[in-house]
Amino acid sequence: MPDASADYIVEIDGLGFSRGARRIFDNLSIRIRRGEVTAIMGPSGAGKTTLLRLITGQLVPEHGVIRVDGRLVNELSRRELYELRREIGMLFQHGALLTDYDVFENVAFPLREHTDLPERMIRHVVLAKLHAVGLRGAASMMPSELSGGMARRVALARAIVMDPKLLIYDEPFAGLDPISLGAVLRLIRDMNDALDITSIVVSHDVTQTATVVDRSHILSDGRVVASGSPQQLRMHESDFVQQFMHGLADGPVPFHYPAPDYAEHLLSRHDS
Protein backbone atom coordinates (compact mmCIF):
# COMPACT_ATOMS: atom_id res chain seq x y z
CA MET A 1 0.00 0.00 0.00
CA PRO A 2 1.52 3.40 -0.98
CA ASP A 3 2.69 5.70 1.78
CA ALA A 4 0.21 8.59 2.04
CA SER A 5 2.97 10.85 3.38
CA ALA A 6 4.66 10.66 -0.03
CA ASP A 7 1.96 13.03 -1.29
CA TYR A 8 3.29 15.78 0.99
CA ILE A 9 6.63 17.56 0.76
CA VAL A 10 6.21 19.36 4.12
CA GLU A 11 4.57 17.74 7.17
CA ILE A 12 4.30 19.59 10.47
CA ASP A 13 2.73 17.83 13.47
CA GLY A 14 2.18 19.17 16.99
CA LEU A 15 4.62 22.06 16.57
CA GLY A 16 5.30 24.24 19.59
CA PHE A 17 7.53 27.32 19.60
CA SER A 18 7.93 30.39 21.80
CA ARG A 19 9.96 33.58 21.89
CA GLY A 20 10.54 34.40 25.53
CA ALA A 21 7.18 34.46 27.26
CA ARG A 22 5.28 34.81 23.99
CA ARG A 23 3.79 31.62 22.58
CA ILE A 24 4.06 31.68 18.76
CA PHE A 25 2.82 28.17 17.91
CA ASP A 26 0.79 25.81 20.05
CA ASN A 27 0.27 22.30 18.65
CA LEU A 28 0.41 23.53 15.04
CA SER A 29 -0.12 20.96 12.28
CA ILE A 30 0.11 21.62 8.52
CA ARG A 31 0.67 19.48 5.43
CA ILE A 32 1.88 20.90 2.13
CA ARG A 33 0.92 18.77 -0.87
CA ARG A 34 3.52 18.17 -3.58
CA GLY A 35 3.06 20.04 -6.84
CA GLU A 36 0.69 22.65 -5.43
CA VAL A 37 1.00 26.35 -4.68
CA THR A 38 0.09 26.66 -1.01
CA ALA A 39 -0.40 29.90 0.91
CA ILE A 40 0.41 30.42 4.58
CA MET A 41 -1.70 33.40 5.63
CA GLY A 42 -2.69 35.30 8.73
CA PRO A 43 -2.61 38.74 10.32
CA SER A 44 0.65 40.49 11.17
CA GLY A 45 2.36 38.77 14.08
CA ALA A 46 0.77 35.38 13.41
CA GLY A 47 4.20 33.78 12.94
CA LYS A 48 4.26 33.26 9.17
CA THR A 49 7.94 34.12 8.66
CA THR A 50 8.85 32.28 11.86
CA LEU A 51 7.23 29.17 10.38
CA LEU A 52 9.46 29.46 7.31
CA ARG A 53 12.53 29.61 9.54
CA LEU A 54 11.39 26.48 11.33
CA ILE A 55 10.77 24.65 8.04
CA THR A 56 14.26 25.53 6.78
CA GLY A 57 15.96 24.65 10.06
CA GLN A 58 17.00 28.16 11.05
CA LEU A 59 15.00 27.76 14.26
CA VAL A 60 14.45 24.66 16.38
CA PRO A 61 10.96 23.80 17.70
CA GLU A 62 10.37 23.17 21.39
CA HIS A 63 8.30 20.12 20.53
CA GLY A 64 6.62 18.54 17.55
CA VAL A 65 7.85 17.21 14.22
CA ILE A 66 8.82 18.96 10.97
CA ARG A 67 9.45 16.79 7.90
CA VAL A 68 10.61 18.18 4.57
CA ASP A 69 10.77 15.69 1.70
CA GLY A 70 10.60 12.88 4.27
CA ARG A 71 13.48 14.16 6.41
CA LEU A 72 13.09 15.19 10.06
CA VAL A 73 14.44 18.74 9.94
CA ASN A 74 14.96 19.10 13.70
CA GLU A 75 17.12 15.94 13.79
CA LEU A 76 19.39 16.64 10.82
CA SER A 77 23.11 17.21 11.25
CA ARG A 78 24.59 20.47 9.98
CA ARG A 79 25.81 18.75 6.80
CA GLU A 80 22.43 17.09 6.19
CA LEU A 81 20.63 20.39 6.79
CA TYR A 82 22.81 22.16 4.21
CA GLU A 83 22.07 19.37 1.73
CA LEU A 84 18.34 19.83 2.31
CA ARG A 85 18.59 23.60 1.85
CA ARG A 86 20.15 23.09 -1.58
CA GLU A 87 16.79 21.63 -2.60
CA ILE A 88 14.88 24.70 -1.35
CA GLY A 89 14.69 27.99 -3.22
CA MET A 90 13.88 31.14 -1.24
CA LEU A 91 12.53 34.45 -2.50
CA PHE A 92 13.14 36.90 0.34
CA GLN A 93 10.68 39.69 1.08
CA HIS A 94 12.78 42.46 -0.46
CA GLY A 95 14.85 40.37 -2.87
CA ALA A 96 18.07 40.51 -0.80
CA LEU A 97 20.29 40.93 -3.86
CA LEU A 98 24.03 41.33 -3.34
CA THR A 99 24.56 45.02 -4.05
CA ASP A 100 28.18 44.70 -5.24
CA TYR A 101 27.36 42.05 -7.86
CA ASP A 102 25.58 42.58 -11.16
CA VAL A 103 22.41 40.69 -12.06
CA PHE A 104 24.31 37.82 -13.74
CA GLU A 105 26.58 37.25 -10.74
CA ASN A 106 23.67 37.45 -8.28
CA VAL A 107 21.94 34.60 -10.09
CA ALA A 108 25.19 32.68 -10.55
CA PHE A 109 26.14 32.94 -6.87
CA PRO A 110 24.46 29.68 -5.68
CA LEU A 111 26.00 27.75 -8.58
CA ARG A 112 29.47 29.03 -7.77
CA GLU A 113 29.04 28.22 -4.07
CA HIS A 114 27.49 24.76 -4.36
CA THR A 115 28.59 23.23 -7.66
CA ASP A 116 31.73 22.65 -9.75
CA LEU A 117 30.08 23.51 -13.04
CA PRO A 118 32.38 24.94 -15.73
CA GLU A 119 31.97 28.62 -16.58
CA ARG A 120 30.32 27.85 -19.90
CA MET A 121 27.61 25.79 -18.19
CA ILE A 122 27.09 28.44 -15.48
CA ARG A 123 26.56 31.04 -18.21
CA HIS A 124 24.04 28.79 -19.96
CA VAL A 125 22.07 28.09 -16.77
CA VAL A 126 22.05 31.71 -15.55
CA LEU A 127 20.90 33.13 -18.88
CA ALA A 128 18.19 30.46 -19.11
CA LYS A 129 16.83 31.39 -15.66
CA LEU A 130 16.98 35.11 -16.43
CA HIS A 131 15.15 34.46 -19.68
CA ALA A 132 12.45 32.59 -17.75
CA VAL A 133 11.74 35.71 -15.67
CA GLY A 134 12.02 38.05 -18.66
CA LEU A 135 15.30 39.72 -17.66
CA ARG A 136 18.02 38.14 -19.80
CA GLY A 137 18.66 41.60 -21.24
CA ALA A 138 19.38 42.98 -17.75
CA ALA A 139 22.22 40.56 -16.98
CA SER A 140 24.88 43.28 -16.78
CA MET A 141 22.84 45.74 -14.70
CA MET A 142 23.57 46.44 -11.04
CA PRO A 143 20.87 46.04 -8.35
CA SER A 144 20.80 49.82 -7.82
CA GLU A 145 19.66 50.21 -11.44
CA LEU A 146 16.67 47.88 -11.08
CA SER A 147 13.09 48.77 -10.25
CA GLY A 148 11.48 46.99 -7.31
CA GLY A 149 9.66 44.58 -9.60
CA MET A 150 12.80 43.80 -11.61
CA ALA A 151 14.78 43.15 -8.42
CA ARG A 152 12.08 40.71 -7.26
CA ARG A 153 12.27 38.86 -10.57
CA VAL A 154 16.08 38.65 -10.44
CA ALA A 155 15.75 37.23 -6.92
CA LEU A 156 13.30 34.67 -8.30
CA ALA A 157 15.77 33.66 -11.01
CA ARG A 158 18.39 33.15 -8.28
CA ALA A 159 15.91 31.12 -6.22
CA ILE A 160 15.31 28.65 -9.08
CA VAL A 161 18.87 28.46 -10.41
CA MET A 162 19.58 25.23 -8.45
CA ASP A 163 16.33 23.62 -9.69
CA PRO A 164 14.81 23.26 -6.20
CA LYS A 165 12.06 20.85 -5.22
CA LEU A 166 10.48 23.45 -2.94
CA LEU A 167 10.23 27.18 -3.64
CA ILE A 168 9.33 29.55 -0.79
CA TYR A 169 8.09 33.12 -1.26
CA ASP A 170 8.14 35.47 1.75
CA GLU A 171 5.66 38.34 1.13
CA PRO A 172 6.35 38.41 -2.64
CA PHE A 173 3.76 41.13 -3.38
CA ALA A 174 4.94 43.78 -0.93
CA GLY A 175 5.69 47.17 -2.48
CA LEU A 176 5.06 46.21 -6.12
CA ASP A 177 3.29 48.40 -8.66
CA PRO A 178 0.33 46.81 -10.54
CA ILE A 179 2.40 45.81 -13.61
CA SER A 180 5.21 44.24 -11.55
CA LEU A 181 2.62 42.56 -9.33
CA GLY A 182 0.95 40.99 -12.34
CA ALA A 183 4.31 39.70 -13.60
CA VAL A 184 5.23 38.15 -10.24
CA LEU A 185 1.79 36.53 -9.90
CA ARG A 186 2.11 34.94 -13.32
CA LEU A 187 5.65 33.76 -12.59
CA ILE A 188 4.64 32.06 -9.32
CA ARG A 189 2.01 29.98 -11.10
CA ASP A 190 4.00 29.36 -14.27
CA MET A 191 7.22 28.42 -12.46
CA ASN A 192 5.42 25.97 -10.23
CA ASP A 193 3.75 24.19 -13.12
CA ALA A 194 6.60 24.35 -15.67
CA LEU A 195 9.31 23.21 -13.25
CA ASP A 196 7.11 20.61 -11.51
CA ILE A 197 7.94 21.94 -8.06
CA THR A 198 6.02 22.83 -4.89
CA SER A 199 5.57 26.45 -3.82
CA ILE A 200 4.79 28.02 -0.45
CA VAL A 201 3.61 31.64 -0.53
CA VAL A 202 3.65 33.49 2.78
CA SER A 203 1.44 36.56 2.57
CA HIS A 204 -1.41 38.51 4.13
CA ASP A 205 -2.60 39.78 0.74
CA VAL A 206 -5.83 37.81 0.36
CA THR A 207 -6.89 39.17 -3.03
CA GLN A 208 -3.62 38.57 -4.89
CA THR A 209 -2.81 35.26 -3.22
CA ALA A 210 -6.21 33.82 -4.15
CA THR A 211 -5.42 34.20 -7.86
CA VAL A 212 -2.47 31.78 -7.86
CA VAL A 213 -2.77 29.30 -4.98
CA ASP A 214 -4.40 25.89 -4.86
CA ARG A 215 -4.82 25.85 -1.09
CA SER A 216 -4.40 28.21 1.87
CA HIS A 217 -3.81 27.75 5.60
CA ILE A 218 -4.80 30.64 7.87
CA LEU A 219 -2.88 31.02 11.15
CA SER A 220 -4.12 32.65 14.34
CA ASP A 221 -3.31 32.22 18.04
CA GLY A 222 -0.58 29.72 17.27
CA ARG A 223 -2.72 27.31 15.26
CA VAL A 224 -4.28 26.72 11.87
CA VAL A 225 -7.82 28.07 12.14
CA ALA A 226 -8.89 27.23 8.59
CA SER A 227 -7.60 25.41 5.49
CA GLY A 228 -8.95 25.05 1.99
CA SER A 229 -9.14 26.56 -1.46
CA PRO A 230 -9.67 30.33 -1.73
CA GLN A 231 -13.31 29.68 -2.64
CA GLN A 232 -13.84 27.43 0.39
CA LEU A 233 -12.27 29.96 2.75
CA ARG A 234 -14.46 32.80 1.47
CA MET A 235 -17.50 30.74 2.51
CA HIS A 236 -16.01 29.55 5.82
CA GLU A 237 -18.32 29.73 8.83
CA SER A 238 -15.71 31.18 11.21
CA ASP A 239 -16.21 34.89 12.01
CA PHE A 240 -12.44 35.36 12.21
CA VAL A 241 -11.88 33.80 8.78
CA GLN A 242 -14.63 35.95 7.32
CA GLN A 243 -13.06 39.07 8.83
CA PHE A 244 -9.63 38.16 7.48
CA MET A 245 -10.73 37.07 4.00
CA HIS A 246 -12.94 40.11 3.45
CA GLY A 247 -10.71 42.67 5.17
CA LEU A 248 -13.30 43.81 7.71
CA ALA A 249 -12.08 46.49 10.15
CA ASP A 250 -13.95 45.06 13.11
CA GLY A 251 -14.85 41.58 14.25
CA PRO A 252 -13.18 38.95 16.44
CA VAL A 253 -10.01 41.02 15.96
CA PRO A 254 -11.28 44.39 17.28
CA PHE A 255 -10.44 47.76 15.75
CA HIS A 256 -9.73 49.24 19.23
CA TYR A 257 -6.82 47.99 21.29
CA PRO A 258 -8.00 47.22 24.87
CA ALA A 259 -8.22 50.45 26.87
CA PRO A 260 -10.01 51.87 29.93
CA ASP A 261 -13.42 53.50 29.65
CA TYR A 262 -13.06 56.50 27.32
CA ALA A 263 -14.67 59.07 29.65
CA GLU A 264 -12.72 57.88 32.68
CA HIS A 265 -9.52 57.92 30.63
CA LEU A 266 -10.11 61.55 29.58
CA LEU A 267 -10.74 62.64 33.14
CA SER A 268 -7.85 60.76 34.70
CA ARG A 269 -4.70 62.76 35.47
CA HIS A 270 -2.26 60.00 34.56
CA ASP A 271 -2.51 57.01 32.20
CA SER A 272 -2.47 53.76 34.10
Distance CA 101, CA 197 (A): 28
CATH no., domain 1-87+201-265: 3.40.50.300
Distance CA 55, CA 60 (A): 9
Lowest-confidence pick of 15-19, 26-30, 113-117, 218-222: 218-222
What's the CA angle centered on 38, arms 34 and 40, to 5 degrees? 135
Q: pLDDT > 70: what percent of the chain?
A: 89
Which residues, 6+ apart, have CB-to-CB distance to 57 below 8 Å? Answer: 73, 74, 76, 81, 84, 85
Summary count for the chain: helices (H), strands (E): 10, 10
Q: How much is the average pLDDT of 19-33?
A: 88
DSSP state, residue 257: P
Residue 247 pLDDT level (bands cut at 50, 70, 90)? low
* pLDDT tens track for 197-243: 999 998 877 778 888 889 999 888 788 888 888 888 777 777 676 76
* pLDDT tens track for 167-186: 998 888 877 778 888 888 88
Strands 8-19 and 22-33: antiparallel
Distance CA 155, CA 10 (A): 23
Residue 106 in this model has a pLDDT that exceeds 90: yes
* pLDDT tens track for 139-163: 999 999 998 888 888 999 999 999 8
Distance CA 91, CA 148 (A): 13
Helical packing angle, 103-114 and 148-160, nearest 10°: 20
Distance CA 129, CA 137 (A): 12
Q: Global pTM?
A: 0.82
Q: Where are the domains of the chain?
A: 1-87+201-265
Which residues, 6+ apart, have CB-to-CB distance to 7 below 8 Å? Answer: 33, 34
Distances, alpha carbon 21 to alpha carbons 57, 118, 219, in Å: 22, 51, 19
pLDDT value of position 195: 83
Of 194 and 125, more confident: 125
Which residues, 6+ apart, have CB-to-CB distance to 99 below 8 Å? Answer: 142, 143, 144
